[in-house]
Structure 1
């Protein structure tokens, strides 16, 4: 596939800056922020970018391929679109925009339980190739129903979260009265009026809702009621008792997302999971935690031959993907990066962002003389 992108926005930071201008402040701050003082959010990218790679300029080079085999599926690149909640709040219809782009470019798209498109709709757009990420419900009947829907939608991979035993403390969202729909304070109304394109697109596509959860939830929840509903409906702390029934029910690949320790990796292997995503939820949960690249290196070295080790949190570019792969990740995911693209360029944002990342990653591989993505660890400089 020929790669093309808007040359006005050749960097992810360009997309971030444009997104900030096009969407209301409350939506941008939800997308862009971490928790507490944003320390771990910033640490994620800063420490990832301390990873250095070694080029080999005089070595014979036959060209490079980004194709990556994961769970028996060959993808065209070693990165995918991470699950993001409230996507349609940040840019109307963005889950569908990104799902279509992922399908077109043959990379995985993970739909969040609390996104704004349904399992069924995203499955339709991706011909059953989208992954689904499950927040663990408190009621077994709800858990079973959602898993059944994901299975009927032919999702090849179910992702369960372990890093949300409590919801992150996010001062911006508290100040903004974030809810679904957002609380219409004078400040928020003025923000919406200042972003007419966002407002028109919201009118066109309709008020964003938790489409997958719609059959189970009351209508018109404000922030306090939404928090109560989520607390009552979902039990974020996972353990063997909760994971084993899911493993028994789910016949596809099962992945644990939010792993940040060797102990949790060992437990995932013991419980028969097929993969883990080393992640700290993009710095949105534990501000005092490590940058994701730190546990990735030790986990991949010790357990990479026993379970598929993937990574998200902090990646923003093709070189970041290369750094993570060189450090032991089998695959990578990005959330904010793709949402910046959708918010910046609307329907073209998904294609544009994927084209940038593929172009950047190919350039890195050619520079390193790295013919296959599995060769990235050979170019890691161990500091």
Structure 2
């Protein structure tokens, strides 16, 4: 019933939310959300490769109804999808990390907070009642790394996601043109774009200029925006290797997930490190244009390693049928970033609830149409992946 109450029939698809979001937020914020790296080839492949996956319904088999829940790391979630980590969430819609974390708790799906999001570890732990995951950009200093890990232990965070796919920052033309490199610049175009989006501007005034809330503790109070880029470059290791992850594994007694693993070579190293799972991801098409789509990498890795650790994925998932396709290709769980930001950008405080309700409704219908009673049986419906 709560899903039905959350559902706004004016926006029955993620595409509808995207169109509404584009009209409500400044162009520079939408370009940051929407853009990929270089010519955005891999960004496009992330979505279009799902169209090459074909599933087979079996209408005449005995069918007792559908259970959309999925167990992950000892917790049974209401559906096999969650909210992916997103940087600078508050730039796209003010207070969006809290909106989404609350919605995730209400609908019993996981929410992952990014190191470079705009709400702190402690605040998200509070609004999510501790039921959140955390994505770590690896700090250059062990003192910062160890302190962040202790902050996570203090709020009883159960799952740590270590990002491994940013050895260098992607070259993103949209962000460069908008002045959203480090440090970000509010040029005359951006100011004009803000003025013609009054709902966004008023909400930003209410909640304050977005900042890296988790990292404030480690910043010099005299730091100005012109020095922010230097701070970020000095504070984080771009390249994460086996030794750095092993040091984290030694300290972290909760579940450890590596995000960005796409090759068999890295998968073998992941297994040797004793990680509990991976999120197959190409960073939303924002890092390397010449790579595979996330779902193709998933299909390859799941075929060989699905019995060895928990394999999840993100990238290009835009609907309930896409979730079913990813699960049929071997994912135990899926995550999405942009769809949820479309939702909050389009509908504000109601956006998280509505987006989850849309995806739950679509996914349940896809399972009913496939006559698939449990998510674990979805691989049996896969016909082909061209």
TM-score normalised per structure 1: 0.98
Q: Tell me which residue corresponds to 1:52.
A: 54
Of residues 234, 256, 259 in structure 2, which corresponds to 1:257? 259
SS in 2 for 1:159: strand
SS in 1 for 2:213: coil
Of residues 309, 317, 322 in structure 1, which corresponds to 2:324? 322
| Per-residue deviation, residues 124-165 of structure 1 (Å, max 9, x unmatched) | 111111000000000000000011111111111000011001
Unaligned runs of 5+ in 1: none
Counterparts of 1:144 and 1:29, CA distance in 2? 34
Matched, 1:39 2:41: yes
Q: Tell me which residue corresponds to 2:280.
A: 278
Instruction: Judge conservation of contact 2:182–2:229 (CA < 8 Å) in 1.
Output: no
Q: 1:347 to 1:148 in 2, by over 3 A?
A: same
| Residue 220 of structure 1, CA deviation | 5.8
Structure-to-structure mapping, 1:1-383, within 5 angstroms: 1-4=1-4, 5-178=7-180, 182-218=184-220, 221-222=224-225, 225-383=227-385
| Residue 325 of structure 1, CA deviation | 0.2
SS in 1 for 2:214: coil
Q: 1:265 to 1:139 in 2, by over 3 A?
A: same
| Residue 179 of structure 1, CA deviation | 5.8
| Per-residue deviation, residues 54-83 of structure 1 (Å, max 9, x unmatched) | 001111110001110011111110000000
Instruction: Judge conservation of contact 2:82–2:334 (CA < 8 Å) in 1.
Output: yes
Unaligned runs of 5+ in 2: none
| Per-residue deviation, residues 24-49 of structure 1 (Å, max 9, x unmatched) | 11100000010111100000110122
Figure out how many residues of one structure are paired with residues of the other and give that number: 382
Counterparts of 1:262 and 1:235, CA distance in 2? 23
| Per-residue deviation, residues 181-204 of structure 1 (Å, max 9, x unmatched) | 842211111001000110000011
| Residue 230 of structure 1, CA deviation | 1.7
Counterparts of 2:183 and 2:196, CA distance in 1? 18
Counterparts of 1:87 and 1:6, CA distance in 2? 23
Instruction: Judge conservation of contact 1:181–1:207 (CA < 8 Å) in 2.
Output: no
SS in 1 for 2:335: strand
CA RMSD for the aligned pairs?
A: 1.2
SS in 1 for 2:260: strand
| Residue 221 of structure 1, CA deviation | 4.4
| Per-residue deviation, residues 228-269 of structure 1 (Å, max 9, x unmatched) | 222211002111210111001111000000011111111111
| Per-residue deviation, residues 361-382 of structure 1 (Å, max 9, x unmatched) | 0000000000000010000012
Instruction: Judge conservation of contact 1:179–1:226 (CA < 8 Å) in 2.
Output: no
| Per-residue deviation, residues 264-290 of structure 1 (Å, max 9, x unmatched) | 111111000000000000000001111
Instruction: Judge conservation of contact 1:181–1:220 (CA < 8 Å) in 2.
Output: no
290-299 vs 371-380, which moves further: 290-299
176-185 vs 29-38, which moves further: 176-185
| Per-residue deviation, residues 86-107 of structure 1 (Å, max 9, x unmatched) | 0000000000000000000000
Counterparts of 1:217 and 1:19, CA distance in 2? 32
TM-score normalised per structure 2: 0.97
Q: 1:188 to 1:98 in 2, by over 3 A?
A: same
Q: 1:267 to 1:178 in 2, by over 3 A?
A: same
SS in 2 for 1:7: coil
